[in-house]
Amino acid sequence: MDELLYEIRDGIGTITLNRPQARNAMTFPMYERLREIALGAGEDKALKVLVITGAGEKAFAAGTDISQFREFRTPEDALAYEERIDRVLVALEQCPKPTIAAIAGAATGGGAAIAAVCDLRICAANARFGFPIAKTLGNCLSMANYGRLAALIGPARVLDLVYTARLVEAEEAKAMGLVSEILPDHAALQARAAALATTIAGHAPLTMRATKEAMRRLRLAARQVEGDDLVTMCFTSNDFRVAVERFLAKQPTEWTGT
């Protein structure tokens, strides 16, 4: 089974994260395929809009597949991981075509980061968003992702989400600006995503492109801050190594701060 599906119909490209049995948790090949599509979108003149969604109703994407962290040992491992993920998010940011995230169920960790970097986000009533890393792995976000989130919902809400490790329900997500619309169920979400994409596809492409690039430049100017030391501190810690194994074994972690 293909873990990421992509089809283009009537100028609308639909990307489906397709690991429903694993709540669409992202593998590295999935990240790379998503980047490849985003990079190629600008060359496809028939493509007007990209929609990203998850297979099934339980999750948009439940972060990165945790089993892939088992081999992390060095600062280079941590920085290479963040660089790999940021390449994907930058490709989505720089993609000249409008992007829509259609979210049902959980959008957490890397999944929430993908949704946050899309131009528009709509969700089903069962959607939940968050970065529960403070109770799962004890890692941190990259400086670029902290900057993206702070630009989207404000620093105070970023602190709230990360410190409490809670998942935000759909109504609160709309109130804080994470999503613009809430649909009653998965079927309504997919129908609205298609209708919204069709509307945008009929508008002036240069207006879309200029506006998207203007927003990207504004966000970029606000996040030119070094953060590699924070990433390596967390990802190379004893807490992180233990937490990966405990998470996969579905056991709680006793944090030591080391």
Residue 92 tokens, joined: 């989505």
Please give the pLDDT value at position 22.
94
- Between these two residues, 167 and 83, which has the higher pLDDT value? 167
In three-state secondary structure terms, 105 is coil
Contacts of 137 (CB under 8 A, 6+ apart): 66, 69, 240, 243, 244, 247
Please give the pLDDT value at position 176.
95
Please give the pLDDT value at position 223.
64
Cβ(32)–Cβ(40) below 8 Å: no
**How do residues 188-237 score in pLDDT, each as one tens digit?**
999 999 999 999 999 999 999 999 999 988 887 766 777 888 888 998 89
pLDDT at 67 over 90: no
**Mean pLDDT, to the nearest integer, of 133-157?**
92
Please give the pLDDT value at position 187.
97
Please give the pLDDT value at position 10.
95
* Per-residue DSSP letter, 67: G
Residue 220 tokens, joined: 């970029």
Please give the pLDDT value at position 127.
98
Instruction: Indicate left, alpha or beta for 59 from its phi (over 0: left) and psi (-120 to 50: alpha).
Output: beta
CA 106-243-69 angle, 5° bins: 75
Please give the pLDDT value at position 222.
62
Most confident of the ranges 1-5, 10-14, 67-71? 10-14
Q: How far apart are CA 6 and CA 152, in angstroms?
A: 27
Give the residues across from 52 on adjacent strands.
Answer: 15, 101
- Which band of pLDDT confidence, cut at 50, 70 and 90, is reported for residue 125? very high
pLDDT at 33 over 90: yes
Mean pLDDT of the chain: 93
Q: How far apart are CA 221 and CA 216, in angstroms?
A: 9
**Half-sphere CA count of 191, side-chain side, radius 13 A:** 6
CA 63 to chain centre: 8
Q: What is the CA radius of gyration of the chain?
A: 18
As a whole-number percent, the residues of the chain with pLDDT over 70 amount to 99
pTM equals 0.92
**Mean pLDDT, to the nearest integer, of 129-153?**
92
Please give the pLDDT value at position 75.
82
Instruction: Give the CA distances from residue 103 to residues 1, 23, 75, 120, in Å, rounded to whole numbers and listed in that order.
Output: 22, 12, 33, 11
CA 168-20-91 angle, 5° bins: 70
Residue 217 tokens, joined: 């430049």
E strand or H helix at 121? strand 120-124
As a whole-number percent, the residues of the chain with pLDDT over 90 amount to 76
Please give the pLDDT value at position 81.
86
- Between these two residues, 219 and 113, which has the higher pLDDT value? 113
pLDDT at 92 over 90: yes
**How do residues 7-19 score in pLDDT, each as one tens digit?**
999 999 999 999 9
Helix axes 110-117, 143-153, angle to 10 degrees: 60
- Which band of pLDDT confidence, cut at 50, 70 and 90, is reported for residue 79? confident
